[in-house]
Amino acid sequence: MKIGFSFWGFLGSGILDTPDGGRFWRRPIIDELISRGHELVLLQSNRDLHEARQVLPYRWDTGFPDIDLLLCEYRWPLPGRNTTPCGTPGHTCDLHRQQALLYHYTHNRTTATVLWDTDRQMAPDDLLRRMPNVVVCDTARRPAAGAAVLFNMVPDELIDEADPERLATLPRPLALAYVGNQYDRDEAFGEFFVPAAARFPHRVAGKWPRTEAWPQVNFTGRCPFGDVAGVYRTALSTMLLLPDRYATVGAITQRAGEAVTEGCLPLTPTTIACTDQVMPSVLHVADRHEVIERIEWLRSIAGAPEHAELIDTCLRYLKPMRVSHQVAALDRIITDLADARRSADEGSR
């Protein structure tokens, strides 16, 4: 099947000034779809070439090529950024391009369309959800009504190559680290991360423009995507910090996979839905006091067999998020949707 894939981000390491977490799993998804016999054409701007000066072996097309299915990482309005007129300072054309693609393929040609709402920004009453040629995929363990489940993914090779015994013996000077941006995380950050940061060596890497309330926290700014693994490799634990729109439905970001595959253990607030499916109960924390208690315990077992066993357990919790597992689910969605569209077309003749 020829799949047109629309995403706004990078396949390689990209540039420093970008929040694009999809770099962790996007290229492995494309490679897995190709290995399953699909042909991929990438329909947004080639940012890897134009911004990062990286040449990659894929096909981009900013026109409207013939495709069998449209796959979109769903984009939403960001006032002052992608809602402004084309060509104005600071404008990004991701939303305009997506609108053009949906108009051309989904509405006019009734092309089979999969919308992956990775940021959970699609309105519950969006008319696209009711179109017969559209499937909306949700990253949540409790997905929106009518949506299919497609988790944020972890590349298989990172899980397979992770050696718990080796990872447990690495020096970890930081007790706690967080890599990610501030977006809608202030409440969880203040409750679960900040009190521990006042007691233990730590680091927060990412874009945090409003930090005045937390002078005790070591904010180090954005780090290149290629350095993310190294941050986790120096830290004993991290904290799964989620906006409410993720936490209330158990939508886990790629941060869990990034951390665990480097041996960094994710403390998991019980305010996140479906915590029993996310990480083992020994890493669940109900409040700031339990965070401190768990970190002290982790420091006491660091480097011991119990530490390696816990890393191994966390790696097993990542199994449902494997690229191969989730792309197999995506392949079934694609096949069923395409078959339904062909049947509908034949029935209308």
Q: Mind listing the pLDDT tens digit for each residue in 254-301?
A: 999 999 999 999 999 999 999 999 999 999 999 999 999 999 999 999
pLDDT at 338 (0 to 100): 83
CB atoms inside a 10 Å sphere around CB 127: 9
Instruction: Please report how the helices 288-301 and 305-317 are oriented relative to each other, as an axis angle in degrees rounded to 10.
Output: 120
pLDDT at 274 (0 to 100): 97
d(CA 10, CA 167): 29
- Residues 192, 268: contact at Cβ < 8 Å? no
pLDDT at 123 (0 to 100): 95
Name the residue among 63, 40, 53, 46 with its Cα closest to residue 8. 46
Q: How confident is the model at residue 347 (pLDDT cuts 50, 70, 90)?
A: low
User: 197 pLDDT exceeds 80?
Assistant: yes
pLDDT at 20 (0 to 100): 82
Alpha-carbon dihedral angle through residues 229, 34, 39, 14, given to the nearest 10 degrees: 10
pLDDT at 340 (0 to 100): 82
Identify the three-state secondary structure at position 251: strand
pLDDT at 21 (0 to 100): 84
Q: Which CATH architecture has domain 2-153+322-343?
A: 3-Layer(aba) Sandwich (3.40)
- Tell me, what DSSP letter sits at residue 105? I
pLDDT at 183 (0 to 100): 87
Q: Mind listing the pLDDT tens digit for each residue in 27-81?
A: 999 999 999 999 999 999 999 999 999 999 999 999 999 999 999 999 999 998 8
Helices (H), the chain: 26-35, 47-50, 94-101, 156-161, 164-169, 186-188, 194-197, 228-233, 244-247, 255-260, 275-278, 288-301, 305-317, 323-347
User: 5 pLDDT exceeds 70?
Assistant: yes
Do 2-153+322-343 and 156-321 have matching folds?
A: yes
pLDDT at 348 (0 to 100): 65
CA distances from 273 to 30, 124, 143, 246 (A): 30, 19, 11, 9
In this prediction the pTM is 0.93
High-pLDDT (> 90) share of the chain, %: 90
The fold for domain 156-321 equals Rossmann fold (3.40.50)
pLDDT at 117 (0 to 100): 97
pLDDT at 349 (0 to 100): 59
User: 156 pLDDT exceeds 70?
Assistant: yes
pLDDT at 17 (0 to 100): 75
Give me 121's structure tokens. Answer: 């920004």
Q: For the chain, what are the domain ranges?
A: 2-153+322-343, 156-321
User: 307 pLDDT exceeds 80?
Assistant: yes
- Identify the weakest region by mean pLDDT among 5-19, 210-224, 279-293: 5-19
pLDDT at 343 (0 to 100): 74
Alpha-carbon dihedral angle through residues 258, 261, 262, 264, given to the nearest 10 degrees: 80
User: 243 pLDDT exceeds 70?
Assistant: yes
pLDDT at 221 (0 to 100): 94
User: 218 pLDDT exceeds 90?
Assistant: yes
pLDDT at 303 (0 to 100): 97
Partners of 179 in beta bridges: 205
Burial of 56 (0-12, 13-18, 19+ CB in 10 A): middle
- Identify the weakest region by mean pLDDT among 87-91, 94-98, 149-153, 290-294: 87-91
Q: Mind listing the pLDDT tens digit for each residue in 98-139?
A: 999 999 999 999 999 999 999 999 999 999 999 999 999 999
